[in-house]
Amino acid sequence: MKRKAVSYILGGLLFLVLVSAKTVRQPEPAHEKAATEQHDEQVEHGEAEEEFYPPDFIFDHILDAYEWHILSYDDFHLSIPLPVIIYSDSKGLNVFMFSRFHHGHDDYRGFRFVSQGALKGNIVEIMEDGTTALPRLDLSITKNVLAILISLILLLWIFLSVAKAYRRHPDKAPAGLQNLLEPIILFIRDDIAKPSIGEHKYERFMPFLLTIFFFIWFNNMMGLIPIFPGGANVTGSISVTMLLALFTFVITTISGNRNYWQHIFNMPGVPWWVKIPVPLMPVIEIIGMITKPFVLMVRLFANIAAGHIIVLGFFSLIFIFGQMSVGLGLGVSVVSLAFTIFMTMIELLVALIQAYVFTLLSAIYFGMATEEHH
């Protein structure tokens, strides 16, 4: 069973690598856009050049990007530029490093990185008439994409090492990473998969359940590390959580048996006069099918993104009060750092809980789809 569990995880991880999509930089909320545009206009005219602007500080850290920011001090910027892969109808396929834009100050090959306005954070194509438009296809290796690839490589290395240790010493008690991972794998099997799906059907869903648990947990933990290769907000990106929830929805839909679909379109025990004149019950059930993955998507995204925003908000207080007075900034920094450490401890627990909840709800949905008629 140990080797089978490890093979489940490896198969699921390879599947996730093949189907993972580029995470898109999320647009700013509507209520923030007006304030951001006003601030950008002030910066352009030199009115707010020296002021600390919390929304820029927070959203620049939690949103996706074409470079991996390391350090900034005055005019000094240290970052890792990432490959830009763009296809447009007029210019064809273009592959180059993001450093060609020089942090948004220069154009390159008829493309421009937008650092202000509604399209802030995106690469646009400069048309012949001088206007700009988003390219037809953007497959760039962004910060979140690189973080996903790094996490997958690390997970593969960990589980391949554990599998190799099991093959070398099949009769020995687990040690090291084996000792850490085996109880978790058995917990997912015995306390999540079997009770939710059933003794006879749980095995075919184990690859996905193990993959989704370790992928979410590992990326949640990596997001709490403030230095490279940590600090990416992978599971706090709505595009990533949408893809994970879509996996659960597709597997649930494909695995649904006759009893599952009968309960959706012709629910037993409901009077015929409720079903025929107005098909209210099927409509409600179909809405329920859609809301289940939607809830998975929003819950994971909101919890992880909110944790990052709160921590960055505490850091912002240092600079906000520091602009008023250096002494006041130093005094607030002690309180801010204390709350930041406290929130980080909570985030360690949240990282595990969110991986558990996503895995448990996915297993429950699979169990509902495969449940036989009693």
**Domain ranges for the chain:** 2-21+143-370, 66-141
Query: Quick one: the chain helix, strand, coil %, rounded to 5?
Result: 65, 10, 30
State the pTM of this model. 0.80
User: Residue 334 burial (CB < 10 Å; 0-12/13-18/19+)?
Assistant: exposed
Taking only the tens of pLDDT, the chain with its 374 residues reads: 444 544 444 444 444 444 443 444 444 444 445 544 554 555 444 444 457 777 777 887 888 888 888 877 666 777 888 999 999 888 889 999 988 888 777 888 888 888 777 778 888 888 888 788 888 888 999 999 999 999 999 999 998 988 888 888 877 877 778 888 889 999 999 999 999 998 888 899 999 999 999 999 999 999 888 888 888 889 999 999 999 999 999 999 998 888 777 777 776 666 666 666 667 777 788 888 889 999 999 999 999 998 888 888 888 888 888 888 888 888 888 888 888 888 888 999 999 999 999 999 999 999 988 877 65
Strand ranges for 132-205 from DSSP E: 132-133, 137-138
Under a CB-based contact definition with an 8 Å cutoff, are residues 194 and 202 in contact?
Answer: yes
Measured between alpha carbons, how far is 230 from 219 in angstroms, rounded to an integer?
Answer: 9
In this structure, the dihedral spanned by the alpha carbons of residues 302, 305, 311 and 314, taken in order and rounded to 10 degrees, is -70
The residues facing 137 across adjacent strands are 87
> CB 352: neighbour CB atoms within 10 A?
15
Q: How far apart are CA 116 and CA 368, in angstroms?
A: 48
